[in-house]
Amino acid sequence: MKKNQDNFFRDISDILTQARNRAGKAVNLVMVYSYFEVGKRIAEEEQNGEARAQYGTRLIQELSNYLTNHIGPGFSITNLKQMRQFYFTYAQDQIGQTLSDQFKNLPAVSTGRKFVLSWSHYLKLMRIDDVNERHFYEIEAARNNWSLREMNRQYDSGLYERLALSRDKKGIRRLSEKGQLIEKASDAVKDPYVLEFLGLEEKSSYSESDLEMHLIDNLQNFLLELGTGYTFVARQKRFTFHEDHFRVDLVFYNRLMQCFVLFDLKIGKLKHQDLGQMQMYVNYYDRYEKQDYENPTIGVLLCQDKDDAMVDLTLPKDSNIYASKYQLYLPDKEQLKKKMEQWTKELEGDENE
């Protein structure tokens, strides 16, 4: 009886908590739409007003005073300028069908644009100059329900550039139109993985066990870095074959790919023996763990250093095994942008040949 009552209490609590969360999101979205309209009215009034630069400044100053007196705080000159910039940024901006299809019940402004994130998210997005990159983070934040902190972390880690550098020109365009799509094994794997959240120093002495322990202790952040669709299954997963015992460091499952993803952690430079060991792990899972409806297992060797030529020579071309480097610091965004610009030029050059 007591157990049933406890379940009843939890159910009621969950209903009210979910309702409160939905109400909070609804109020936030109403404010975002309102700020767009306020920005639009300010822009229109400035365009119809006196042909002097000072007019816009005076208009916003007087509007700030009026709104503060009649409504209350929250309408400083800075805030009103941000609303105007919000309108200028998104008035002609269309993001395609991705958000419209995902949020069919949301209204659209006069331009057909929908807004799905909080005002704090859009304040960050407005500071991203590249419209394709801005679209990508908006789509991914909406799809994965990223908090502002999570979105900032993904931006700081150069997620867009890291994914773009592994794609052809068409793939780069799809990132800005549809976000990160997981359609084949390579889409579910990154290179490099950025693990700055572990707090390990680049030159410090740590073992593979230490690295594994820190990843488990920071599992939520690691799942965020892994990307869409990942769920944690086990650490040090033991299996026995012909009386020999083996352990896989980390086992995940990707719901979108419908397959196991095995991670083996390596300190130092990757060796060809490591690739052979992972091949055995993957073969075991494909033959004894995978269900008929599931896709082939993916193996990822997470290492500090690797020789790409050695990896290509060791693994067959149709292998589902990947060697990815990890780094313990956030990448230099400017360096990533330069690499991406060079990569884009090379792609364009290949197309023109």
Say which residues have a Cβ less than 8 Å from residue 226's Cβ, sequence separation at least 6.
190, 193, 252
Note the pTM of the prediction, 2 decimals.
0.83
The CATH T-level fold of domain 193-330 is Trna Endonuclease; Chain: A, domain 1 (3.40.1350)
pLDDT for res 19: 57
- Quickly tell me which residue has 């589902």 as its tokens: 320
pLDDT for res 254: 95
Instruction: Work out whether the CA dihedral 195, 198, 199, 203 comes out positive or negative.
Output: negative
Q: What percent of the chain has pLDDT over 70?
A: 87
Which of 36-50, 211-225, 294-308 comes out lowest in average pLDDT?
36-50
Note the Cα 190 to chain centre separation in Å: 12
Helices (H), the chain: 2-48, 53-70, 77-90, 97-102, 119-125, 131-144, 148-156, 159-164, 169-178, 208-217, 219-226, 272-284, 308-314, 333-352
Q: How far is CA 173 from CA 48, 100, 165, in A?
A: 38, 18, 12
Confidence of residue 24 (pLDDT cuts 50, 70, 90): low
What are the residue boundaries of the structural domains of the chain, listed by start? 1-92, 193-330
pLDDT for res 56: 61
Q: Do 279 and 321 meet the contact criterion of CB atoms below 8 Å apart?
A: yes
pLDDT tens, residue by residue, 272-306: 999 999 999 999 999 999 999 999 999 999 999 99
C-alpha count within 13 angstroms, C-beta hemisphere, residue 38: 20
To the nearest whole number, what is the mean pLDDT of the chain?
Answer: 86
* pLDDT (mean) for 236-257: 92
| Token duo for residue 235 | 């650490």
